[in-house]
Amino acid sequence: MSSEATWQERAVDRSLREARAKALKTSGRFLDAASRLLAETGRIDFTLQEVVDRSGQSIRAFYQHFAGKDELLLALFEDVMVSFAADLRAEVDKHEKPINRLEAYVRRFHLLVEAAEGAGARALGAYHLQLAQDRPNDFATAVSPQITLLSEVIEEGVAAGQIRSDIEPAALVLLLTQALIFAGQLSALGIHLTGAKVSADDRWEWVLGSVTPR
């Protein structure tokens, strides 16, 4: 009886793995199609039919994977944020000292934002703001990987005496994240409030002055 259950479990596991792989492949096609439309049009108001046509799939297949266009856009944004956070972590992990890890985080953040140019970046920047306003919980979930990384770095720095401890680490993370994200949104939208060009050195010196222990 136990051996029968074992092969049954293996069969079910194999079936679920295959179904999951197929679902990820199909949903990936919809995401790729939406990403291309975003880059080409610079808008998020493309139609669901345009996505379906670009993907080579069917409307029926779309609704098997997404509840609607809003969920597709959220999935696309989450995908971008996961890649963004992974890039940050790869750069941060090249360093050992907490203050150097924080510098790597800030400089890489700046570089990635500056490199994101074109219509697609502007459209994603606009969606970034819209999501934060309309669906703050989903927005917080999407950016959580980069916040988790920054929290690790800040807590390491406080423990090592390299980062100020008179402000709670969670509050420091929030302040830095707000500043970096807002600057990134303005940059993506091409908004320069004072006309000044902020360099990676400028941004890091500002952060360093903000977190240095008194």
φ/ψ of 66, rounded to 5, equals -135, 145
Which residues are within 8 A (CB) of 15 and not within 5 positions of it... i.e. 6 or more apart?
Answer: none
**Would you state the pLDDT for residue 124?**
77
Residue with tokens 């992990």: 93
**Would you state the pLDDT for residue 1?**
45
Listed in order, strand segments (DSSP E) in 1-103 are: none
Of residues 121 and 141, more confidently modeled: 141
pLDDT digits (tens, 9 = 90+) for 63-77: 888 888 888 888 888
The dihedral sign for the CA sequence 49, 53, 56, 58: positive
**Would you state the pLDDT for residue 169?**
96
Q: How many angstroms separate the CA atoms of 151 and 171, rounded?
A: 10
Q: 184: which 2 tokens?
A: 């990134």
pLDDT digits (tens, 9 = 90+) for 38-94: 888 878 888 889 998 988 888 888 888 888 888 888 888 888 889 999 999 999 999
pTM of the model: 0.79
pLDDT digits (tens, 9 = 90+) for 147-182: 999 999 999 999 999 999 999 999 999 999 999 988
Arithmetic mean of pLDDT over the chain: 85
Distances, alpha carbon 195 to alpha carbons 50, 179, 187, 192, 200, in Å: 38, 18, 12, 5, 16
pLDDT category of residue 18 using cuts at 50, 70 and 90: low
